[in-house]
């Protein structure tokens, strides 16, 4: 006689569903391509409509695959979505991003990106949306010079700065929180 526990499966599914939290779906009203924001009822700390949020995103990491967003772009978009869902006015959001190292590949023009990776650049639309949302976008001029990268191969939404570290120090001096991705 063969013993089987298959009769327990429906009870296991019910138990699993009974313990699943009824979270609302994430919302992405500002940057739809980035991660959305889930409103957490009675959260200990939530976005404050009266506060001004200043963040400097240090973008150094490449995406895991060429069809994914750069981690820094996803995080900038995600935080804009969080603040947008909470009703924080756009004028209360002061974000900047500086690209250097492997992240520079993510800001290549579509032609340059296709030549390097064989696929369209998924970051270009998000770069444009971020710029429209008031995010300042910079690339390290030193990195470009030392790696012999032609600025003409980069998105027009990104400005060439003298040096990523100068950008980071300047914005931190101006009260921006440093976030690295």
User: Where residue 74 sits, what CATH number does that domain have?
Assistant: 3.40.1260.10
Nearest to 82 by CA among 34, 126, 41: 34
Q: Which domain holds residue 81?
A: 56-180
Q: How far apart are CA 134 and CA 155, in angstroms?
A: 16
Q: Is residue 16 part of a domain?
A: no
Q: What is the mean pLDDT of each run of 10 residues along the chain (181 residues)?
A: 48 56 92 96 95 98 98 98 97 98 98 98 98 98 98 98 98 98 94
Domain count, the chain: 1
What's phi and psi for 57, nearest 5 deg?
-95, 120
Question: In the structure encoding, which two tokens stand for residue 4, read together?
Answer: 């089987």
**Given this model, what pLDDT does residue 10 score?**
52
**Given this model, what pLDDT does residue 1 score?**
44
Nearest to 174 by CA among 94, 57, 101, 100: 94
Task: Output the pTM of the full model.
Answer: 0.87
């Amino acid at each position: 006689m063969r013993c089987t526990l298959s009769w327990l499966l429906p009870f296991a599914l019910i138990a699993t569903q009974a313990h699943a939290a009824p979270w609302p779906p994430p919302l992405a009203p500002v940057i739809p391509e980035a991660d959305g924001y889930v409103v957490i009822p009675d959260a200990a700390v939530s976005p404050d409509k009266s506060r001004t949020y200043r963040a400097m995103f240090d973008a150094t990491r490449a995406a895991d695959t060429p069809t994914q967003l750069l981690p820094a772009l996803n995080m900038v978009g995600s935080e804009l979505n969080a603040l947008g869902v909470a009703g924080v006015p756009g004028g209360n959001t002061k974000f900047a991003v500086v690209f250097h190292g492997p992240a520079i590949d993510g800001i290549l023009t579509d032609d340059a990106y296709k030549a390097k990776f064989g696929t369209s650049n998924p970051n270009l639309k998000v770069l444009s949306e971020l710029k429209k949302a008031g995010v300042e976008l910079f690339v390290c001029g030193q990195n470009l010079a030392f790696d012999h990268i032609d600025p003409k191969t980069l998105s027009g939404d990104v400005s060439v700065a003298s040096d990523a570290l100068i950008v980071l120090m300047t914005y931190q001096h101006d009260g921006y929180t440093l976030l690295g991705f």
